[in-house]
Structure 1
Amino acid sequence: MQPTQDVFAALPAERAEIAEMSRAACRAVLTPAAPGGLSLPWRHAVAARICAKHGQDALAVARLAGTDDDTRALADPGFAGRDARERAVLAFVDGVAVQPRTVTAEDLAGLKAAGVADADIVRLCELAAYLAYECRVAAGLALMQGGR
């Protein structure tokens, strides 16, 4: 798949409504009017991280376009974080994006203890859930097109 931010362009025409709703969800999680404690470059870097964890390297590269020098390191799945708060957030995002069934109440308590506001915990979950969905759609479309 070509590096693009619009995975849904490859959907069949009869799925146009799903594509548009998915694009709206993308805008809501990556570029919301009120980003709370998760800046737009931060969201793009973490989106790239999630895409990389799902093996969607082209999509990860496309998501990097919204980052800046301060946030780019977050896109690396091997990067653990610069401080305790960031380490807690990245560990949570990694878990909820790739293995959501393993996330526990203790993980949420860890975020709160690290100073993450309740509204930002919800935003983290929304971001991770959307990106996991987008990666699954990209993988499915690639398979339908004879790719990996």
Structure 2
Amino acid sequence: MAQDSDIFLDIIRCMIEKKQYKEACQYATLLNMQEKFSIEDFLLPLVLQDKLFGVDEFLKVSPRHQTELVTYLDAVLGKSSIRDTIMDYVSVHGIPEVKFDKMHPKPWKKLIVRLVKMFKLPPDLTPNLNKRRNEGSVELPVAQKVYRK
């Protein structure tokens, strides 16, 4: 089936249109069709829905998508508001069942760190994560001094 996977392309695209992201991702992974899709097709919607199992499986064999997804997530981390940025994306693409409780810096950073570690990606892909980590380490002693007074 994997050799003739192109015959399934329209079916998977139809699933994406019907917002069946998990199923589309699973079929694309099963048929080794990663290169036929972008991160916007179903990876980002699944991240926003906090359905990461399918995303991890898809990414395991696609270094290009690993880099693109982590770069995108890091770019969103650099915005003034993750939630506002994601709200714009969600409304434009009509993504259902978004887990807005994950649209804050701490869970967003944890996701990026997890993906970077899992796929052994270089730290230069995540300048905004690096900046936030450095800011956090600098701010911690200041906060501790305030509490000691």
TM-score w.r.t. the length of structure 2 is 0.29
Decide which structure has the larger Cα Rg and report it: 2
TM-score w.r.t. the length of structure 1 is 0.29
Bigger RCO of structures 1 and 2 (CA < 8 A, at least 6 apart): 1
- Which structure's residues are more often helix, by fraction? 2
